[in-house]
C-alpha cells in the first residue's frame, strides 16, 4: 500500500516527499560543499595563477629591462660601430686617396719610363735600321765584290794575280824585307813568284799559280761521268804543274831541295788532300809541297825562326869575344877596387890620427876652461910667475 505522501518507490522502498526533500537538501548541501571546495580550489588556483602571473610579470619586467639594457648596449655598440665605421671609412677614404695618389704617381712614372723606353727603343730601332741599311749596302758591295772575284777567278791571269797578291801579303807580313824577293831570276832565267833566302843563301822557291778550272768543273759536275772526267782533268793538271815546278825551280846547288806550290784556297787544298792522294804522293816524290794560306803562314814562321837561330849562331863568336873582354874588364875592375880599398884604409888611418889630435885639442881646451884667473888687475912689475900659480904653470907644461 502506497502512502499518500509517497512520491515513488524503489525496489519496494517508498520514497516520500520529505525523504526526497531531505535527500535533495543533502544533495544540495553536498553540492554546496563541493562548490565551496571547488571555489576554494579555484581561489587557490587563482592565487597561484596570480602569483605565477606576478612572477611572470616580474620575469617579463626583468626580461624587458634586460632587453632595454641590451638594446641600450646594442645602441651604444651600434654607435661605437658607427663611429668605428666612420673612422674606418675615413681611414679607408684617406688610404684610398693615398693609394690613388701613389697609383697615379706610379702610373705617371711608369708612363714616363714607358715613354723613355719607347723613345730609347725607337732610337735603338732607328740605329739598327741604320745598321741594317749599312749592312744591306755592304751586302750589295760584297755581292758586287763576289761577282768581281768570280770574274777574277774565271780568268787565268787575273786568278794568278790574285794568288800572287795573297802569297805576297803572307810572306811580307812574316819575313823581313831582305829575307825574300819576288820575281827573282834564277840561273836558268826562270822567275819564280817568290823566293825566300835561307841562312845557307840558297833560295826556297814558291809558286803561286794553280790550275783551278778542273776543280771548278769537279764541283759543278752533275753526273758521275762528269765528275770522273773533271777528277781526271784535275789530276793531270796538278801533276803537270808539279812537274813544271820541279823542273824549273829545283836547281841542284843553287836552290833548296824543296819547292812550295801555293793553293790560294783552304777548301781546294782540303779537297785535293781528301780525294787525290796519288797527286799528293807524286808531289812528295817530286819534292814539291802543296801549301794552303794557313800552312804557308806556318812555314813562313818556321823560316823566320830558322833565320833567327842562324843569326844567333853567327853572333855566338862575337858574344864569346865580348864575354872574354868583359872578363878582362872585370879583372881590371877588381884590381882597381883593391887599390881603392887600400886608399880607403890609408884614409881611415889618417882620419883616425886626425880624430886623436882633435881629442887632444878638446882636452886642452877643457883644461883651459877649468883655469881660475882670479883678479886680472896685477901690480906693475909683476912677473908671469906672479900672475900664474906654480901649479898652473906645471899643469900647462905637463899638458904641452
Query: 211: alpha, beta or left, given left = phi > 0 and alpha = psi -120 to 50?
Result: beta
What is this structure's pTM? 0.42
| Amino acid 158: pLDDT | 46
Scanning the structure block, which residue is given the C-alpha cell 629591462?
A: 65
* Within a domain: 238: yes
**Environment class of 100 (CB within 10 Å of its CB; exposed 0-12, middle 13-18, buried 19+):** exposed
CA-to-CA dists, residue 8 to 18, 22, 78, 134, 315, angstroms: 12, 15, 85, 152, 188
Please answer whether residues 198 and 184 qualify as being in contact, where contact means their C-beta atoms are separated by less than 8 angstroms.
Answer: no
Rounded-to-integer distance, Cα 234 and Cα 290, Å = 14
Q: What is the pLDDT of residues 54-106, one digit of tens each?
A: 777 777 777 777 777 777 887 777 777 778 777 777 888 888 788 888 877 88
Please answer whether residues 243 and 202 qualify as being in contact, where contact means their C-beta atoms are separated by less than 8 angstroms.
Answer: no
* Within a domain: 27: no
* Within a domain: 130: no
Rounded-to-integer distance, Cα 195 and Cα 180, Å = 6
| Amino acid 400: pLDDT | 44
Query: 217: alpha, beta or left, given left = phi > 0 and alpha = psi -120 to 50?
Result: alpha
Rounded-to-integer distance, Cα 165 and Cα 171, Å = 10
**Domain containing residue 181:** 139-291
| Amino acid 372: pLDDT | 54
Q: Which of 127, 291, 124, 109 is nearest to 194 (CA)?
A: 291
| Amino acid 381: pLDDT | 45
* Within a domain: 180: yes
| Amino acid 361: pLDDT | 85
Scanning the structure block, which residue is given the C-alpha cell 823566293?
A: 195
| Amino acid 397: pLDDT | 47
Each residue's pLDDT tens digit in the chain (400 positions)?
A: 445 556 556 566 666 666 666 777 777 777 777 777 777 776 677 777 777 777 777 777 777 777 777 778 877 777 777 787 777 778 888 887 888 888 778 877 877 888 888 888 888 878 888 888 788 777 777 666 555 445 444 445 444 555 778 888 888 888 888 888 888 888 888 888 888 888 877 888 988 877 667 667 776 777 778 778 877 887 888 888 888 888 888 888 888 888 888 888 787 788 888 878 888 888 888 888 888 888 888 888 888 888 888 778 777 777 778 778 888 887 888 888 888 888 888 888 888 888 888 888 888 888 887 765 554 444 444 444 444 444 444 444 444 4
* Within a domain: 5: no
Rounded-to-integer distance, Cα 8 and Cα 338, Å = 194
* Within a domain: 188: yes
* Within a domain: 392: no
* Within a domain: 78: no
Rounded-to-integer distance, Cα 212 and Cα 162, Å = 12
User: How many domains does the chain divide into?
Assistant: 1
Running DSSP on this structure, what letter comes out for residue 189?
Answer: S
Q: What is the pLDDT of residues 176-200, one digit of tens each?
A: 888 888 888 888 888 888 888 888 7
| Amino acid 273: pLDDT | 82
Q: How many CB atoms lie within 10 A of CB 303?
A: 20
Please answer whether residues 194 and 171 qualify as being in contact, where contact means their C-beta atoms are separated by less than 8 angstroms.
Answer: yes
Q: What percent of the chain has pLDDT above 90?
A: 0
Amino acid at each position: 500500500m502506497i502512502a499518500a505522501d509517497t512520491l515513488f518507490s524503489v525496489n519496494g522502498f517508498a520514497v516520500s516527499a520529505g525523504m526526497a526533500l531531505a535527500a535533495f537538501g543533502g544533495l544540495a548541501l553536498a553540492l554546496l560543499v563541493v562548490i565551496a571546495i571547488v571555489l576554494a580550489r579555484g581561489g587557490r588556483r587563482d592565487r597561484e595563477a596570480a602569483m605565477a602571473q606576478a612572477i611572470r610579470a616580474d620575469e617579463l619586467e626583468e626580461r624587458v629591462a634586460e632587453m632595454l639594457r641590451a638594446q641600450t648596449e646594442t645602441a651604444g655598440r651600434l654607435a661605437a660601430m658607427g663611429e668605428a665605421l666612420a673612422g674606418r671609412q675615413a681611414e679607408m677614404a684617406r688610404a684610398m686617396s693615398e693609394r690613388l695618389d701613389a697609383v697615379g704617381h706610379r702610373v705617371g712614372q711608369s708612363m714616363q719610363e714607358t715613354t723613355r723606353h719607347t723613345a730609347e727603343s725607337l732610337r735603338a730601332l732607328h740605329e739598327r735600321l741604320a745598321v741594317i741599311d749599312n749592312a744591306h749596302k755592304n751586302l750589295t758591295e760584297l755581292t758586287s765584290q763576289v761577282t768581281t772575284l768570280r770574274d777574277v777567278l774565271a780568268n787565268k791571269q787575273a786568278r794568278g794575280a790574285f794568288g800572287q797578291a795573297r802569297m805576297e801579303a803572307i810572306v811580307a807580313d812574316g819575313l823581313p824585307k831582305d829575307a825574300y824577293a819576288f820575281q827573282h831570276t834564277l840561273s836558268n832565267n826562270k822567275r819564280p813568284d817568290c823566293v825566300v833566302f835561307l841562312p845557307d843563301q840558297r833560295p826556297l822557291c814558291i809558286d803561286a799559280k794553280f790550275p783551278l778550272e778542273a776543280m771548278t768543273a769537279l764541283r759543278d759536275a752533275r753526273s758521275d761521268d762528269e765528275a770522273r772526267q773533271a777528277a781526271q782533268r784535275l789530276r793531270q793538271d796538278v801533276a803537270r804543274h808539279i812537274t813544271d815546278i820541279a823542273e824549273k825551280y829545283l836547281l841542284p846547288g843553287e836552290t833548296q831541295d824543296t819547292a812550295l806550290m801555293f793553293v790560294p784556297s783552304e777548301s781546294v787544298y782540303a779537297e785535293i788532300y781528301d780525294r787525290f792522294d796519288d797527286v799528293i804522293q807524286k808531289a812528295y816524290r817530286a819534292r814539291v809541297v802543296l801549301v794552303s794560306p794557313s800552312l804557308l803562314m806556318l812555314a813562313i814562321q818556321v823560316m823566320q825562326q830558322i833565320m833567327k837561330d842562324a843569326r844567333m849562331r853567327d853572333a855566338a863568336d862575337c858574344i864569346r869575344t865580348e864575354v872574354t873582354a868583359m872578363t878582362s874588364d872585370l879583372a881590371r875592375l877588381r884590381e882597381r877596387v883593391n887599390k881603392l880599398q887600400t886608399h880607403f884604409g890609408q884614409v881611415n888611418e889618417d882620419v883616425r890620427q886626425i880624430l886623436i889630435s882633435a881629442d887632444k885639442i878638446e882636452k886642452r881646451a877643457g883644461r883651459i876652461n877649468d883655469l881660475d884667473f882670479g883678479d886680472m888687475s896685477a901690480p906693475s912689475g909683476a912677473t908671469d910667475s906672479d900672475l900664474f900659480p906654480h901649479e898652473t904653470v906645471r899643469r900647462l907644461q905637463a899638458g904641452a
